[in-house]
Structure 1
Amino acid sequence: MLAAVALLATASAASASSSVTGVQRAHYGETADGVRIDVFTLTNARGAVAKVLTHGATLADLQLPDRTGRNASIVIPVTGKPGPQGGFPSSGAIMGRVANRIAHGRFTLDGRDYQVTANSGVHQLHGGRVGFNKVNWQAETLDASEGPAVKLTYVSADGEEGYPGRVTVSVVYTLTAQNVLRLDYSATTDKPTPLNLTNHAYFNLGGTGDVLDHVLTVNATRATAADADLIPTGQYLEVKDTALDFTRPTPVGARTALLAPARRYDHNFVLNRPAGSKALLFAARIQDPHSGRGMEVWTTEPGMMLYTSPLTPPTGKEPAARNGFYCFETQHYPDAVNHPHFPSTILRPGETFRSTTEFRFSIQER
């Protein structure tokens, strides 16, 4: 599932390259209703490659060398066309207008009750039926000094998926000379509205196979407690001596027995940061002992959702890739709009939402 593939084979070889060094733009294909999708390929001097689609502002591929110098896709690559629901099945897309969950698709803002679309049972997940991951964004290349970059912008209409306000949102992907993939988000609105953005890339630093022995550290001593529907209760959990305790380097699959019956992570960590701080701070580190690839996650966000494939040891009867990914969704807490003591997700006219997440890559020699 994560094998390096001939990604984006539908891209037109005749498409013109961007004039910006390290960025190429090509025709990828069309959506089911005929909207053109383009792909931007960012390449740095070290040979790292990031591919970004205009549809969903999607990180479609990210290729980095291992300790032998061999490149491989370290995210599940996006191939084919968007499915019948409008998005790609395995997506590195931008999630919004509100990433993660809103309980019962309801919230009250400035004394007015709102009902947004429910697309996960009675709840809303990742912005509704047609969230930011299922729309086409406008794109332009940037002359960034740090490395090749592309800026994608989408205008979300007032009332879209039930949300108030016309929101203009942008994300800039930059692939730096230091093998850092940086995502800079910004947004404005003409009415008060909730906003919570994240990227949903499925990583596997090995490029293929299970991730049970990939070593994880998370800079969090607490997580948000949640019910059976993964809706926060409003309480916090101490992670010490639980399945969520990654305060020290620990293999991802070390506590699978404590994750029954799901045997996967789908948990929001409360990142350790000073109250009110919006600085770019360390959130997590993951190391693959086989390829030598390592990744640190740094973010200005207060939370990080850890989401993995099922963490079941391979039996020989199932493909190893079943265990093949982990997501680090930097964001505000799920259902924050219904918990006033959580960091606020409300964006108001005259304000500019800004958020940065960096994925910093390295190689560990033997």
Structure 2
Amino acid sequence: MAGATITKDVFGTLPDGRDVERIVLRGEGGFEVRIMTHGAVIQALLAPDANGRCDDVVLGHDAFAGYLAERKFFGATVGRYANRIANGRFSLDGETFQLAVNNGPNALHGGLDGFDRKLWDVAEIDDGADPAVTLTYTSPHGEENYPGRLDVRLTYRVTGPAELSLTMEARTDRPTIVNLTNHSFFNLEGATSGASMLDHELMVRAEHFLAIDPTAIPLPEPPRSVAGTPFDFREARTVGARIREGDQQLRNGRGYDHTYCLARDGKLALAARLEAPRSGRIMELFTDQPGVQVYSGNYLDGTISGKGGKLIRQSDAICLEPHIWPDAPNRPDFPSPRLDPGGIYRHHTVYRFAVRAP
């Protein structure tokens, strides 16, 4: 590859004076990923279109001040527990833990001051053929009232010409729960294009999804079949094709905000495929997680501006968040988020970009 595969600069400064660094990883053909140490955020991701033009395909802000002012999880690493826990409460070995309730009656995305608001340390930079940065964060016992110290290690690596690999590991000193994800908002036409992601074609390799109540907590029932519902993306179709149908689940989520149930064998496999009609960009999502949350940006309401000064509105982007199922600490029938001393939490997700063949 021509030129440096990694550069680093100071992207901003926290109110306490600590620098927020930004690390840029480069692939081929202009593919580029910019990682911010505050929140371990994917601040920008540039991918070529069918004509070789590179655009940033993730929502966010051009300057650090935007991330500090508004907590919208753009590109952030979310934890300790991604998604929701009912009533902010769970029990572990007979002890009940009460978390902050920050999303209606429920706990969301790690609480009031989750991993997305933490300054991560740069532990390692690999400027080799597969450029990478490893970030670490230690969450002390009792942070946001979660039990146990949690040592988290996260690596972003460019593993192909236009492919980003994300691996996360965590260890604890006492029994706890952990569920991490990346919360990027994707628009494959470009973050400032003004194009709706409702025209994107989506495929999700899942036979079942989790039905939710109006507060987005899974209902006390087994996963539902997608067959015959607006949630059936087994064959690719546009995101907007059925999003306005009079389905109670679409009402409850204000659109798509549901976990799709994936194979549980723990192996990296294709989970979803997203394609933009105009640019021809394609993103394939591979993960070893048991679920992927499909979120159609239902709560983006135009109250904040993003890159290029454009207001961020509903349908501007879609999230595909691989993780353990929501409220799993309270559902023994769900994949377990429990982590014990001596064990290792592992998460591997790959974002592979391509273009539609002529």
TM-score, length basis structure 2? 0.89
Are 1:215 and 2:198 matched, yes or no?
A: no
Matches within 5 A, 1:236-275: 236-258=223-245, 259-260=250-251, 263-271=254-262, 273=263, 275=264
1:43 is aligned to 2:29 = no
Give the Cα–Cα distance (whole angstroms) in 1 for the partners of residues 291 and 126 of structure 2: 31
Q: Is the 8 A contact 2:201 2:239 kept in 1?
A: yes
Note the C-alpha offset of 1:182. 0.7
8 Å CA contact 2:243–2:256 kept in 1: the answer is: no
Provide the C-alpha distance between the structure 2 equivalents of 1:100 and 1:352, rounded to a whole number of angstroms: 21
Q: Residues 208-255 of structure 1, C-alpha deviation per residue, up to 9 Å, x if partnerless?
A: 210122111101110112111001123211111111110111111000
Distance 1:21 1:320 in 2: 33
* Shift in CA distance, 261/100, structure 1 to aligned 2, threshold 3 Å: closer
User: Gaps spanning 5+ residues in structure 2: where?
Assistant: 301-309
Match of 2:218 in 1: 232
Aligned equivalents of 1:252, 1:223: Cα separation in 2: 16
Tell me how far apart the structure 1 counterparts of residues 291 and 80 of structure 2 sit (CA, whole Å): 17
Residue number in structure 2 paired with 1:323: 315
- SS where residue 167 of structure 2 aligns? strand
Distance 1:181 1:83, change over 3 A: same
**Cα distance, 1:169 vs. partner?**
0.4
Please give the per-residue CA displacement for 1:62-109, whole angstroms capped at 9, x wherever unaligned. 001101111101111333335697765451010000000011111110
Q: Which amino acid aligns with 2:228?
A: D
Please state if 1:306 is matched with 2:306.
no
Q: Quote the Cα distance in structure 1 between the aligned partners of 2:95 and 2:55.
A: 50
**Equivalent position to 1:344, from 311, 336, 349:** 336
Cα distance in 1 for residues equivalent to 2:103 and 2:207 = 29
- 1:135-160 deviations in Å (ceiling 9; x for gaps): 10001443375511111100000000
Q: 1:294 aligns with which of 277, 282, 293?
A: 282
Give the Cα–Cα distance (whole angstroms) in 1 for the partners of residues 321 and 65 of structure 2: 22
Q: Is the 8 A contact 1:81 1:88 kept in 2?
A: no
- Seen in structure 2, the aligned counterparts of structure 1 residues 130 and 85 have a Cα distance that, compared at 3 Å, is farther
Q: Secondary structure at the match of 2:185?
A: coil
1:361 aligns with 2:344: no
> 2:33 touches 2:42 (CA, 8 Å); kept in 1?
yes
Deviation of 1:321 after TM superposition, in Å, equals 5.7
**Which is further off, 124-133 or 39-48?**
39-48
**Structure 2 residue aligned with 1:5:** none
Alpha-carbon displacement from aligned partner over 1:340-366 (angstroms, at most 9, x marks no partner):
110000010001111100011111133
The change in CA–CA distance for 1:311 and 1:292 in structure 2 (over 3 A counts) is farther
Shift in Å at residue 310 of structure 1? 4.3
Bigger shift: residues 235-244 or 20-29: 20-29
User: How many residues get paired?
Assistant: 339
Cα distance change of structure 1 residues 144 and 348 upon mapping to structure 2, 3 Å threshold:
farther
The answer to which of 138-147 and 245-254 deviates more is 138-147
Aligned to 1:77: 60
SS at match of 1:328: strand
Contact conserved, 2:39 with 2:115, CA < 8 A, in 1? yes
Q: Secondary structure at the match of 2:197?
A: coil
* CA deviation after TM superposition for structure 1 residue 175, in Å: 1.5
- Work out whether residues 336 and 343 of structure 1, in 8 Å CA contact, stay in contact via their aligned partners in 2: yes
Matches within 5 A, 1:73-152: 73-82=56-65, 88-89=71-72, 91-143=74-126, 147-152=130-135
Q: Deviations over 1:100-148 (max 9, x none)?
A: 0011111110111111111112210000000000010001443375511
Give the TM-score of the pair, scaled to structure 1.
0.87
Q: Name the SS of the counterpart of 2:144 in structure 1.
A: helix
Q: Are the counterparts in 1 of residues 212 and 252 from structure 2 also a CA contact under 8 Å?
A: no
Give the Cα separation in 2 of the matches to 1:25 and 1:85. 20
- Between the aligned residues of both structures, percent identity stands at 38
5+ residue gaps, structure 1, are: 1-19, 313-317
Change (3 A) 1:261 1:333: closer
- Distance in 1, matches of 2:26 and 2:124, equals 13
Deviation per residue, 1:176-225 (Å, 9 max, x gap): 23311110000000011110000000001111210122111101110112
Q: Against the structure 1 CA distance between its residues 100 and 146, is the aligned structure 2 distance closer, same or farther, given a 3 Å change threshold?
A: farther
**SS state at 2:321 partner:** strand
Task: Give the SS at the match of 1:41.
Answer: strand
Residues 214 and 253, structure 2, Cα contact 8 Å, conserved in 1? no
Change (3 A) 1:215 1:203: same
